[in-house]
Chain A
Amino acid sequence: MIVEEKKSDRAQAAGKEPEQSAVKLIPVYVMGKRYEVPEGFTIMKAMEYAGYRFIRGCGCRGGTCGACGTVYRKPGDYKIQVALACQKTVEPDMYITQMPFFPVNRASYEFSDLTSAPEEVFKLYPELFRCVACNACSKACPQGVEVMDAIAALKRGDISEAARLSFECIQCGLCTSRCFGELAQYHMFQLARRIYGARILVRAEHLADMVKAVDQGKYDGILNELKNMKEDELKELYKQREVEPVSAGENWQPEDTRYL
């Protein structure tokens, strides 16, 4: 069980004693049951207000972890709506169900064996070709990812484009829940981003050079010097540090260039 309902049902209590609260209460339906919750609350806060305690299905509460995917409908609108429970504020008469996980199989692979060939994705996720471009996936994405376009990119072997288009994917699985081709979109995208990062993206050579220089002790001297300084000396050094001016151009350099 992902959520538990508390024995004391605060929302109903609040409904009976509105004088306790100055905020306006609005009705919402969580898994079909009516609750009165304060206007302006996020779905997640409203559910907690209603008495649900999240053991799972809530992660960062900041709209990035993808743990609180939620579907809802509003009266008079046949369309299903999606949101992250921690981001979307409640609206009157929403019917809400949180869907923090949607079962889908993740292909298993030894990453070191994979190349950047399009066939790697085809072999691991052959259901890719069941896509009929209905676009239900993109419509269900709370991040605004063009899921269908990213799938189309994979079909034509463009792993880089799939990685780019799916960059904002938080793997909530709402696309997968809507797919009648039964694709595992978010796992495919993760594979695409892994292949892109490890096999396609051009390596920054200067980074490798710098790591090598650090390994060879380029900063050992200055770090030891700092470690052995007294607190007062450190503070003084900090005060006297040279700061890059706001108006500095691209080619600005500090006076002391020994550590660049």
Chain B
Amino acid sequence: MSLAYYPGCTLKTKARNLEEPAVASLEALGYELEEITRWNCCGAAYSLADDDLIHQVAPVRNLVRVKESGMSQMVTLCAVCLNTLKRANLVMKADEEKRNTINSFMDEEPDYDGEVSVVHLLEVLRDEIGWETLSEKVRRPLHDLRIAAYYGCTLLRPKDVAIDDEANPTILRDFLTALGATPVEFPEFARCCGSYQVMSDPDGISEYARVIFDSALSHGAEALVLTCPLCDYDLGRGQQVLMKKDNSFRGMPMFYFTQLLALALGLGSEVCHFELNHGDPESLLRAKKLLS
């Protein structure tokens, strides 16, 4: 079965370790991630200014591409892309005046009124494939691996684009359980990584990382699962900064959820591109006999 797939720019450069294991895993599950044609940047951040419609044009154009291809659903892997695309889609669906303005500005494109649904791959795993089917396909259960279920902001906020209950999400816990891992739930599961504040205060936001890692550690986690390249950048960089200035700080390896998926499905570690992860994630996997 074929799924319309929106990769996002970062997945083609810095975060190939998020994309490539996903493509291989979906193939193993009998699905093909079919990249939409002529896709553009998702917009990178949802513009909060009410009248700043020009910044809705990039995400909406991608949704138009899906509509043109005759598909009704588009899958993303990156949590920021998901958030930006979904919120732009809501504008097109719910606000007639803005919809008309944007449609008439993009007069070279067919009119669009929010008919494509944007979903995250975790939702496909939960709602279309199902946790039970997924766990049956696991060839290399991630036994004895205690992983903190870190959501960050953009999967859960704002409420109208959340992929799960924003106060009490279970999707990552269920995902990790299906792979045979031990999910670790911790209070800072949705704390912001610092987001684009890394541009203005790169060292200051390392304190956000401290709160997140300390909390995960104190709840017994050995690693953290991620869905977002921006979280990966901020938390990875934050760990480095903290380790330099504070001997007592202990970080932990971070994995994209797709890397854990590929590993559990028994795929070769080469599709995971662990070399693109921060630090040394492979030592932990070797210690748990999940990598040779």
Q: State the A residues within 8 Å of B (CB).
A: 118-119, 129, 131-135, 139, 146, 148-149, 152, 155-158
Contact = CB atoms under 8 A, between A and B. Distances in A.
Contacts of B40: 133, 148-149, 152, 155
Given A149-B38, A152-B40, A155-B41, A134 B9 contact: no
Nearest to B56: A132
B12 A133 contact: no
Given A139-B108, A148-B40, A155-B41, A132 B9 contact: no
A132 B57 contact: yes
Contacts of A129: 41, 44
B19 to A, nearest CB: 11
A133 B41 CA distance: 8
Contact of A135 (B9, B41, B106): B106
Interface residues of B, dominant DSSP: loop
Contacts of A139: 108
Given A132-B57, A135-B61, A152-B39, 8 more contacts: A135-B57, A149-B40, A152-B38, A152-B41, A156-B7, A156-B8, A156-B41, A157-B12
Nearest to A135: B108
Contacts of B9: 155-157
B13 interface: yes
Interface in B1-56: 7-9, 12-13, 38-41, 43-44, 54-55
Contacts of A118: 13
Nearest to B11: A156
Given A152-B38, A158-B12, A132 B58 contact: yes
Interface of B: 7-9, 12-13, 38-41, 43-44, 54-55, 57-58, 61, 105-106, 108
Contacts, number: 44
A118 B44 CA distance: 18
A149 B41 CA distance: 10
11 contacts: A118-B13, A132-B54, A133-B40, A134-B57, A135-B61, A135-B106, A148-B40, A149-B38, A156-B8, A156-B9, A158-B12
A259 B55 CA distance: 62
B54 A134 contact: yes
A131 B13 contact: no
Nearest to A180: B54
Nearest to A134: B57
A182 to B, nearest CB: 14
A187 B43 CA distance: 23
Contacts of B7: 156
Nearest to B105: A134
B44 to A, nearest CB: 8
Contacts of B61: 133, 135
Top 7 nearest A-B pairs (CB, nearest first) are A133-B58, A156-B9, A152-B40, A156-B12, A157-B13, A133-B40, A155-B9
A39 B152 CA distance: 65
A129 B42 CA distance: 12
A5 B109 CA distance: 42
A134 B61 CA distance: 9
Nearest to B47: A132
A133 B12 CA distance: 18
Contacts of A131: 41
Contacts of B39: 152
B108 A156 contact: no
Contacts of B13: 118-119, 156-157
